[in-house]
Amino acid sequence: MSDTQTLEDTPISSAPKQGLIPRIASIDILRALTMVLMIFVNDLGSLKDIPEWLGHVDRGVDGIGLADVVFPAFLFIVGLSLPFAIDNRRKKGDTDLQLVNHALIRTVALLVMGVFLVNGETFNAGATGMARYLWNPLCCLSFILIWNSYPENSKKTLWYILKGIGIVTLIVLAFLYRGGGEDGKEVYRFSPQWWGILGLIGWAYLASSMITIFAKNRFLPLLIGWVFFCILSMVMKAQIIPQGTLSFIPSAISGGTLSGLTMGGVLASWVFIYYRERKDNRTMIVVFTVAVFLLVVLSVLTRPYWGLAKLGSTPAWLFLCSAFTLGTFVIIYWIADVKGKSNWFNLIRPAGTDTLLCYLMPYFAGFILRSILNVQYPEWVITGGAGLLKSFLFALLCVAFTRLFNNAGVRLKL
C-alpha cells in the first residue's frame, strides 16, 4: 500500500489468487446454531409454563426476548456470507451482470417460498377442498424439486421433468388455494399477504447484494451502505419522510432496519477477510470487540426515541442484535477456526451447510409426527423444562432429517 493510499480505498481479495474460497467453519457454525435456535423458538408456541423471556415480545412493548434475536442474527449472517459467495462466482468468471442476474433469481426464489408458506398460515381447508396438513409439505416438496442441486452427471432430462413437476404443483396449489373465512371473514384467493421470513430475507439480500457487487471489495462503499440503511431506519421511525412516499419500495428495504442488519454482516465480513489474510487474529478480535461495544452504545442511545422492539423494527433492535451476532461470531471463530475445535459442532453441521433445507424440515417433521404417526404428547411433555427439552430435541430431529436428505442427494441451491 502506498503512503497516499488509504484503507478505505483498498480492495481486498478474500481468497488466494488460484482456486475458490474455502468454507469458513465459524460462519457455517454460526448459521447452524442460528437455524437450530430458530426451529427451537418456533416450536415454543406448543408449550406451556415456560419463561416469558424465551418468546417474542408483544407488539408495542419496549424489550426483546430470545426469539426476537434469532431472525436478525440470520439476516446478519446472510450479509456475512455475501462477499465470499460473490468472490467465488467472480473466480468462476461471472461478470457483474451475471452476478446481478443471479441475485435477482435468488430473491425471486425466496419471495416465492415465503409467500407460499405465509398463505399456509391462513389456509381454509373446506373452501380449498384439501386437508390443511397437506399444504406446507406439498409446497416444501415442490421447492425441493425446483431448487435441488442435481448432479451434473445425471440425465438433465430427468431433472428438468422434476423441476417441471414442482413448478406445476405450485401453480395448481396457488389456483386451488382459499384462505380466511373464519369468524365470518371473507374467503380470499392466493396472494402475497406479506412476504414471510424467507421473503423478508430475500428483499434484504437483494439490497445488500447489489451494494456488495458494485462495491467490488472496497471498504468505503460498504460502510456508506451500512450507514445509509441505519440512518434510513431512524428517519423512517422518526416519520421525517411523509408516509407513503416510498411505498413503491418493499418495506424490508425502505424501512432500513432489515437491510441494515444484512449490510452489517457484509461490513463485518470485509473486516474479517482483511485481517484474516494478514493472519492478524488479535487485531481483528480487538476491532470486533470495539465494534460490539459501539453497537451497544448506539442501541442505548436510540432506544429512548423508538424503543427496543423486533415487531417495530427499531434502530435499537438493529444495533443490539448486530452486536449480539457479531460477538457470538468472534467467540465461535476463536473456538472453531483459531483453536481448531470445529468438530465440537458436527452434530448440527447440516443446519449450517444446507440451511434452507433445514428451514423446511419442521414442515416435514411436523407432518410425519402429527398426521402420519399421530403422536399425541402427554401434558407433562409440553410443560416447563420437559417442554423445552422436547422443543430442543425437535430442532435436532430436523437437523437429522436434513442430514438424511443430504445423504440421499438432496441439497437446495439457489
The DSSP annotation for 304-367 comes to HHH-S-TTTT-HHHHHHHHHHHHHHHHHHHIIIIIS--GGGGGGGTHHHHSHHHHHHHHHHHHI
Task: Give me the phi and psi of 309, to 5 degrees please.
Answer: -155, 135
Cα(372)–Cα(391) distance, integer angstroms:
19
Per-position pLDDT tens, the chain of length 414: 333 334 344 444 333 344 556 678 899 999 999 999 999 999 998 899 999 999 888 888 899 999 999 999 999 999 999 999 999 999 999 999 999 999 999 999 999 999 999 999 999 999 999 999 999 999 999 999 999 998 877 678 888 999 999 999 999 999 999 998 777 678 989 998 889 999 999 999 999 999 999 999 899 999 999 999 999 999 999 989 887 778 888 989 999 999 999 999 999 999 999 999 999 999 999 999 999 999 999 999 999 999 999 988 999 999 999 999 999 999 999 999 888 898 999 999 999 999 999 999 999 998 998 888 888 899 998 999 999 999 999 999 999 999 999 999 899 988
Residue that the C-alpha cell 406439498 belongs to: 138
Evaluate whether residue 284 is within a structural domain: yes
Domain assignment of residue 413, yes or no: no
**What is the torsional sign of CA 38, 39, 41, 42?**
positive
Residue 71 lies in a domain: yes
Residue 339 forms part of a structural domain: yes
In a domain, 265, yes or no: yes
Q: For residue 367, tell me if it sits in a domain.
A: yes
Q: Is 412 within a domain?
A: no
Q: Which residues contact 319 (CB under 8 A, 6 or more apart)?
A: 230, 295, 296, 298, 299, 302
Distance CA 265, CA 263 (A): 5
Domain containing residue 130: 25-41+65-407
Closest of 5, 76, 11 to residue 215, by C-alpha: 11
* Number of domain units in the chain: 1
* Residue 8 belongs to a domain: no
DSSP per residue, 157-188: HHHHHHHHHHHHHHHHHHHH-EEE-GGGPPEE
pTM beyond 0.85: the answer is yes
